[in-house]
Structures are given as C-alpha cells and as structure tokens.
Amino acid sequence: MESKEAPKRMDRRKLIRNGMQLSLGLSLAGVAGWSATKSSSDDLVWQLDPFKCVQCGRCATECIVTPSAVKCVHAYALCGYCDLCGGYLKPDPNARTTAAENQLCPTAAIKRKYIEEPYFEYEIDEPLCIGCAKCVAGCTSFGNGSLHLQVRHDLCKNCNECAIARVCPAEAFQRVPASTPYLIKGDFTKGKKG
C-alpha cells in the first residue's frame, strides 16, 4: 500500500510545482506584455492635425499646462508676407497701424518685421502664445493658412489621455511617433491629407 501512495504524492507535488511554474510564467509574460505596450505608447506623443483643426480656442483653455503647450507655428513656405496679414491684424482695424487695438493676438505674441514694400515677416514669440487660435482663424479666413497650431513637445506632459483631445470638436488630436512629432502644413511630405 505504501508503495502505491508514494507515486500519488509525487504526482501531486509535480502538479503543484508545475502549476506554480505555469502561473509564474504567465505572470512574467503579462508583465513583459504590459512593458512592451508601455514602451510602445511612450514612443507616441500627442499632436494636433492642422488640416482638421477648426480653431475652437479650447487648446488655450483645456490644456493642463499654463499657458498651453499648444502654440502657433508659422509655415514660412506658405506665407505671402502680406502687409494686411489676416492673422496679425483684426478684420476691421481702426487704422492700418500695428497699435495693440488693431492686433488680433490678445497677448501680442506675433511680431511683425518689415522686409521691403509691401512685404512683412511674422514671427511667433512662443512664450507669449497661449494657443487661442485667433491668429490661425484669421490667417485661414483671410489668408493662406500659414499660421497653425502644434503641440510643443518641450512643454507638453504627454498625458495618457490629453485633456484637449477629450474635448476637441474636430477630433484633431492624434498620437504620432515621437521620432516625427510635428505635422507642419508647409512640409507637404508629412501630415498632408488627401
């Protein structure tokens, strides 16, 4: 009798040991899978698709970073360097001057530099930009759309669920590879839809 019980106990021990090894193996596989998913999501960053953006103004108010990590950028390749820039001057200015009451940007983040008659260059002072998209709306309505918004990755916290993406009415926010994080309108090799 004793000889018959010994093999059964041996089988139970093997079964328990094999079960523990299997559960350990599954646990390690789960951790490895979670790590792989985590590292691949770390290689993605949030970005605003300028071709979908409707200039709603929520980038300025919904970002967890103050001021917003979304900034206006200028695609110089598209710019007409106009004297009457729709992104710089209000549609019905009091006068054709660069006085603050005639500027579209509420924080004076757009700097205008004279080149030659009738051309001006417009630069964005990013620390002053709050991402309100007023200049982008003006440039799109009355110009060629060379001003557009982008998430600046030196400022962005790359939240797991972007607060702006959650409320964006155009669903213009997407995850893009960290190796190519910007969707600039002037660069027709990246980000062009069609």
Q: Does 55 share its domain with 2?
A: no
Q: Does 75 share its domain with 24?
A: no
Q: Does 24 share its domain with 3?
A: yes
> Which band of pLDDT confidence, cut at 50, 70 and 90, is reported for residue 153?
very high
Domain count, the chain: 2
Examine the pLDDT at 1 and tell me if it is beyond 90. no
Examine the pLDDT at 194 and tell me if it is beyond 70. no
Q: Does 57 share its domain with 99?
A: yes
Cα 50 to Cα 146: distance, rounded to the nearest angstrom: 10
Pairing of strands 110-116, 119-124: antiparallel
Q: Does 38 share its domain with 49?
A: no
Under 8 Å between Cβ of 47 and 71: no
Task: Output the six-digit token pair for 125.
Answer: 């002072």
Examine the pLDDT at 166 and tell me if it is beyond 60. yes
The residue type of 110 is: I
The pTM for the full model equals: 0.71
Examine the pLDDT at 8 and tell me if it is beyond 60. no
Under 8 Å between Cβ of 151 and 78: no
> Which band of pLDDT confidence, cut at 50, 70 and 90, is reported for residue 173?
very high
Average pLDDT over residues 67-92: 91
Cα 175 to Cα 151: distance, rounded to the nearest angstrom: 11
Average pLDDT over residues 163-187: 92
Residue 94 within any structural domain of the chain: yes
> Which band of pLDDT confidence, cut at 50, 70 and 90, is reported for residue 28?
low
Cα 175 to Cα 48: distance, rounded to the nearest angstrom: 9
